[in-house]
A and B are shown apart, each in its own frame.
Chain A
Amino acid sequence: MFKVEDLRYKYPKNPSDVINGISFEIAKGEIFGFLGPSGAGKSTTQKIMIKILEDFRGTISYNGKDIREYGDDFYEDIGVSFEMPIHFSKMTAMENIEFFLKLYKRNADVEKLMRRVGLWEHKDMMVGEFSKGMKIRLNIVRALLNEPHMLFLDEPTNGLDPTNAQILKDMIREFREAGGTVFITSHIMADIDQLCDRVAFIVEGEIKEVDSPRNLKIKYGKRTMTLEYKENGETVREEFPMDGIGQNETFLNLLQTKEIETLHSGETTLEDIFIRVTGVQLRDEQ
């Protein structure tokens, strides 16, 4: 659906490129995560893909056609949810939505969307009186107004309570199940892990990894099994190689004879992979 090839970009006032020849593809119906530390080039890449930034080098094609050849009708097909609130604060939620709705040829069922994110009861409230979470939810409604085929989400769950974050994640999955494609950036690795079919890590304008969360966990994890069991009132911890574990007599003997407390594979987390690939602690990012 989206194909990025050898993308390079330099801001006019910068001495060098901030995007250094990145390439990746996003398949139709895929949820693609784009991760990296601040200043790595995530937002720049997204802004190029949504045609806000021009004068890039390389090629980006959407549905087989160079995005440079698309006119403003490109935006009939995509939805963008920004991280920051982007509404007219002295207008009600509904006045905001109705204004944007009229700008598109295709219109979604607004009541259904607003009800889904729990804003229908607040539709006549001034957006300036909304909490941050409500504004973020309204951003999502705004992004889905034109029934897009491709959705760009920048930190979609940032600022949402767990219940609303879950609703939003469900909506993203439903969007994918209905045939939609999603490009998502987030610092919340648990969300990325739950949602994304594949993720790319970008560092200093270069892509270091592109793969599914599962494959990355296998690649960066240790192929071991760690066993914790009780012996003489104390917890004993032993690690075994994953290869040939079914024939490892010591391991099997411990399973049969000891009181097992925990049993873990050496699979790592996406957060650990982020730190290893980018060299940046996530808490420094947030």
Chain B
Amino acid sequence: MNSKRLWILIVGELSRLNKYGVFSISILVAFIWGVVLFLISDSVLGTFLPFVLFIDATMMSVMYIGAEMHFEKTESTISTMLVTPVSNAEMVLSKVLGNTIHNLISSLLIVAAFYIAGQLDFINELGFSLILVILGIVLSTATFTILGLVLSYYHKDFTDLLVSMFVIIFVLMIPAVLLMFGVIKGDFWETFMLVNPMQAVLEVIQGGFYNAAGELDLDYRYFLSLGYILVGGIVLYFFWAIPKFQDYAVRQSGV
């Protein structure tokens, strides 16, 4: 892995996300979420802000990387990347890191808006550990970006990808949301649901926020989820995203 080349690729990814309007869309989405969060009552704010970050880190990550891969497909740029000294691993990693940085910026914009609003007493101040929030967003976004990459290998266009993504995300998200809002309760379900990656992301992001007592509530579920996302992302990256990239790229070059 050539770090200088990787950096060039990441800057290129971020530049294209900007040029192709993906960055503007994510800022707009962040702004809309911000407005929604300002309008909801303070009593649910503590639950809703992690939920917004959770949506950003999962569903939006898949969508943004899917859109980027779609642009590359339509412009055949992957063909010319294949004949540069850039390795497949560098290409895949730059996409994962580029999308993660991009998503982190939009998520942090929401967090910053609420931090400032809390400091100025416009809303109830939300306590959180910035380091843990960033860790949660980065790990979750990276893993779901890898998932989005893998999904885009198997879909011929963006619409196809969106349909699959909505099916997968909603099937996984509904139980997590039901648990989050207390529709499903109990220790058994709270532990069992950790096999659901969406639930694991929710645990990790919620773990960065203080509870009602003003403390971080980092129990075994948090660490289990953290490990699950980390290992899941690594497995997906090394055993799926990288090995299948060459086949995908060759197909894009007209074979």
Contacts and interface: CB of A to CB of B under 8 A. Distances in A.
A14 B76 CA distance: 24
Given A52-B253, A99-B12, A86 B5 contact: no
A86 B255 contact: no
Interface in B92-139: none
A90 B246 CA distance: 25
Nearest to A90: B19
Contacts of B79: 82, 84, 86
A102 B84 contact: no
A73 B80 contact: no
A75 B255 contact: no
Q: Is the interface of B mostly helix, strand, loop or mixed?
A: helix
Interface in B1-44: 5, 8, 12, 15-16, 19-20
B80 A142 contact: yes
A53 B19 contact: no
Contacts of B196: none
Contacts of A103: 5, 8, 84-86
Given A75-B84, A86-B80, A91-B19, A44 B75 contact: no
A267 interface: no
A85 interface: yes
Contacts of A95: 15
Contacts of A78: 83
Contact of A11 (B83, B246, B253, B255): B255
Contacts of A142: 80
Interface string A212-234: 00000000000000000000000
A83 to B, nearest CB: 9
Given A87-B75, A89-B75, A102-B8, A52 B80 contact: no
A100 B85 contact: no
Which of B8, B15, B16, B75 is most buried by chain A, counting CB atoms within 10 A of its CB? Answer: B75
Contact of B80 (A74, A82, A91, A105): A82
Contact of A104 (B76, B84, B246): B84
A88 interface: yes
A54 B8 CA distance: 27
A43 B177 CA distance: 51
B153 to A, nearest CB: 15
A75 B12 contact: no
A100 B80 contact: yes
Interface in A80-115: 80, 82, 84-91, 95, 99-100, 102-105
Contact of A43 (B5, B19, B82, B254): B254
Given A44-B255, A47-B255, A103-B5, A87 B83 contact: no
Contacts of B82: 52
Contacts of B77: 86-88
Given A84-B76, A88-B75, A90-B19, A104 B253 contact: no
A76 interface: yes
Contacts of A75: 83-85
B168 interface: no
A243 interface: no
Interface string A95-138: 10001101111000000000000000000000000000000000
Contact of A76 (B15, B20, B85, B253): B85
Contacts of A90: 16, 19-20
A191 B8 CA distance: 38
B84 A82 contact: no
Contacts of B16: 88, 90-91
B173 to A, nearest CB: 32
Contacts of A11: 255
A275 to B, nearest CB: 25
A72 interface: yes
Nearest to B12: A99
Contacts of A50: 83
Given A86-B79, A103-B5, A72 B254 contact: no
B76 A88 contact: no
30 contacts: A11-B255, A43-B255, A52-B249, A52-B255, A53-B255, A72-B87, A73-B85, A75-B85, A76-B85, A82-B80, A84-B79, A84-B254, A86-B76, A86-B77, A86-B79, A86-B80, A87-B75, A87-B80, A88-B19, A88-B75, A90-B16, A91-B16, A95-B15, A99-B12, A100-B84, A103-B5, A103-B8, A103-B85, A104-B85, A105-B85
Given A54-B246, A103-B85, A104-B84, 13 more contacts: A47-B250, A50-B83, A52-B250, A72-B85, A72-B86, A75-B83, A76-B85, A82-B76, A82-B253, A89-B75, A91-B15, A99-B8, A99-B12
Nearest 8 A/B pairs, CB to CB: A86-B80, A80-B83, A72-B85, A90-B19, A75-B85, A103-B84, A102-B8, A86-B76
